[in-house]
Amino acid sequence: MKFELQATAAGTDARAGEITTDHGRIETPIFMPVGTLGSVKGVHQRELRDDIKAQIILGNTYHLYLRPGIEILRQAGGLHKFNGWDRPILTDSGGFQVFSLSDRRKLTEEGAHFRSHIDGSKHLFTPENVVDIERVIGADIMMALDECPPGTADYNYAKRSLGLTLRWLSRGWKRYRETEGLYGYSQAYFPIVQGVVYPDLRREAAKFVADLGADGNAIGGLAVGEPTEKMYEMIEVVNEILPADRPRYLMGVGTPANILEAIDRGVDMMDCVMPTRNGRNGMLFTANGIMNMRNKKWADDFTELDPSGTSYVDHAYSRAYVRHLFVAQELLAMQIASIHNLAFYLWLVGEARRHIIAGDFAQWKPQMIERVTRRL
């Protein structure tokens, strides 16, 4: 994997760059649609490519390990062959999912012991076998196994957790360096910076991670209960240390405003379930604000979903029609909303990139944040 830094924005830490993988190039800053089980919910691969213009999608190691299972993925020749997606894929290590199973898991030095949420069967993720699993899945970018503590964790818990994560990282990094991809193309391995909201822990983790010299680095454990301003502060603390010549991936964030603020602070890659999850529940993001499509006010509004003229809009559907679909509980409503929101997110990071290159990102961003946070 290669990363080329192409432009920086005066007065901010925002950057534009390009990641090159064996499955294609990714222009940064980039938003990555979440395809947990090998699919972005309700969205065809054709729509991801042509309508949403996704350049990279995510899969999840925990979920793919349980279903369809590693042997099926091995027989298929990896996730790209299994789901028909020919562009880059990133796989989360499953650490966050194991963290969320608070009543079904136990963390030890060896690894994460957990019970399947499907059938209660017992499993163990270690730093080593997660690398092996991700080799079988075949993602272009693999994430290290970590513990993701809650954003409200006290200092002592955060320190113990970080120590475990860094010891796991050393073992996972060693396994990664000792193994190769199974399908004839290269795979990168991103370590994850943890440390909750404590600057000294975040700095310790960022220094440890930076010293590995990995192809890229991730910032985890944010947007998990801490105040938004603390999240922004931790991004700044970490990005002062993470190398500027490698992509920086902020995991699981967030709203359109979160994304613009993260880009401002030097983040290159982001993912979140919000565009699809909120879309399925009737929330549409637009360049002029946020709409709840079940509101009565849209019942006789025959204008386009976003009449601002932005290029991501599918002009075939009116607000009244989409509201009707949601009220009638038609499945098409969720599909339209998911595609619309993902296309908006990709448009937004594309606009950020354009303004970084043009040199006016610092002037554009506050105006855009004011627009995208309105409630329509």
Q: Tokens 């789901």 label which residue?
A: 83
Measure the CA–CA gap between 185 and 177, rounded to whole angstroms.
Answer: 15
Catalytic positions, written as ranges: 92, 271
What is the C-alpha end-to-end distance of the chain, expressed in Å? 42
Distance, CA of 64 to CA of 136 (rounded, Å)? 11
- The one-letter amino acid code at 226 reads E
CA dist 125 → 61, 62, 156, 190 (Å): 10, 9, 24, 17
- Tell me whether strands 15-21 and 141-143 are parallel, antiparallel or unpaired: unpaired
The token duo for 258 is 């979160």
Dist CA 167 CA 69 (whole Å) = 27
For residue 325, what are its two tokens? 């679909």
Number of alpha carbons in the 13 Å side-chain half-sphere of residue 84? 9
**Inter-residue contact 19 to 5 (CB < 8 Å):** no
- What is the per-residue DSSP string for 139-161? -SEEEPP-----TT--HHHHHHH
Residues 6+ apart with CB under 8 A from 171: 126, 127, 128
Are 136 and 182 within 8 A, CB to CB?
Answer: yes
Q: Is 63:73 a contact under the CB 8 Å cutoff?
A: no
